[in-house]
């Protein structure tokens, strides 16, 4: 995982485009060695707790819709000079969309967080500090509680996690 952060961090440039292809590459390159399904969207329906993620038959289409919208937002590439709150709002919105999509069989949480780490770095921020949000075991932690809210289109809990963890680089 750390290798994944390093690999993609080193390759960030002005021309990096945070599109669907990039998102899939994060999963593929980071988990290739340990996971047969690296870089592949799932082909079974899955749920966690009471949450059922995007149905397989809508997965590709929904992913494209999310990334089209993301593209219209210029992949959040121009938030370096904007208020942190505005950036955190946008991140929380798209993070929730991807959490509800849950496109991979495994490693969704880590891939989605890695994706936004690259985007915040691009905009002159440090990696988001999730320390507090990821502290407790799965079902108990704030990130999962915020994720459960994402399932009903509410991103306020996620917004506070992001805002709390966002810090400008020196
Ligand atoms: N009950 C739930 N409802 C909605 N989302 C959840 C729930 N439990 C976990 N999640 C989301 O799924 C992620 C875990 O998915 P998973 O594919 O196992 O990724 P990882 O292995 O990287 O943690 C969590 O980080 C959270 O965003
Ligand atoms: Mg997991």
Q: How far apart are CA 33 and CA 26, in angstroms?
A: 13
Question: Given this model, what pLDDT does residue 25 score?
Answer: 97
Question: Given this model, what pLDDT does residue 129 score?
Answer: 97
Question: Given this model, what pLDDT does residue 71 score?
Answer: 98
- C-alpha closest to that of 142 among 131, 127, 128: 131
- State if residue 108 touches ligand 1 by the CB under 6 angstroms criterion: yes
For the chain, the domains span 2-165
What pLDDT band is residue 53 in, cutting at 50, 70 and 90? very high
Q: What is the mean pLDDT of residues 58-68?
A: 98
Model confidence pLDDT, tens digit, residues 90-104: 999 999 999 999 999
Question: Given this model, what pLDDT does residue 2 score?
Answer: 75
Cα 110 to ligand 1 centroid, rounded to whole Å: 9
CATH topology (fold) of 2-165 = Fic-like fold (1.10.3290)
State CA 89 to chain mean position distance: 13
Model confidence pLDDT, tens digit, residues 104-139: 999 999 999 999 999 999 999 999 999 999 998 777
- State if residue 34 touches ligand 1 by the CB under 6 angstroms criterion: no
| pLDDT > 90? residue 30 | yes
- Stated as kind and residue range, the H or E segment containing 24 is helix 20-31
List, in order, residues 6 or more apart from 54 with CB less than 8 Å away: 62, 100, 101, 102, 103
Cα 8 to ligand 2 centroid, rounded to whole Å: 21
Question: Given this model, what pLDDT does residue 86 score?
Answer: 98
Query: Between residues 34 and 64, which one has the greater pLDDT?
Result: 64
| pLDDT > 80? residue 47 | yes
- State if residue 151 touches ligand 1 by the CB under 6 angstroms criterion: yes
Of 2, 23, 52, 109, best ligand 1 pocket probe by most atoms within 8 Å of the beta carbon: 109
């Amino acid at each position: 995982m750390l290798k994944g952060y390093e690999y993609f961090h080193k390759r960030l440039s002005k021309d990096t485009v945070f599109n669907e292809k990039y998102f899939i590459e994060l999963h593929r390159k980071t988990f290739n060695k340990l996971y047969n399904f690296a870089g592949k969207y799932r082909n079974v329906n899955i749920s966690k707790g009471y949450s059922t993620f995007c149905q397989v038959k809508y997965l590709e289409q929904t992913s494209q819709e999310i990334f089209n919208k993301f593209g219209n937002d210029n992949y959040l590439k121009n938030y370096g000079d904007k208020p942190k709150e505005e950036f955190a709002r946008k991140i929380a919105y798209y993070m929730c969309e991807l959490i509800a999509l849950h496109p991979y069989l495994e490693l969704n949480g880590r891939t989605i967080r890695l994706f936004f780490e690259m985007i915040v770095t691009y905009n002159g921020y440090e990696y988001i500090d999730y320390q507090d949000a990821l502290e407790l075991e799965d079902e108990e932690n704030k990130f999962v509680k915020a994720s459960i809210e994402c399932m009903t289109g509410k991103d306020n809990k996620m917004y506070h996690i992001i805002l709390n963890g966002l810090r400008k680089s020196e």
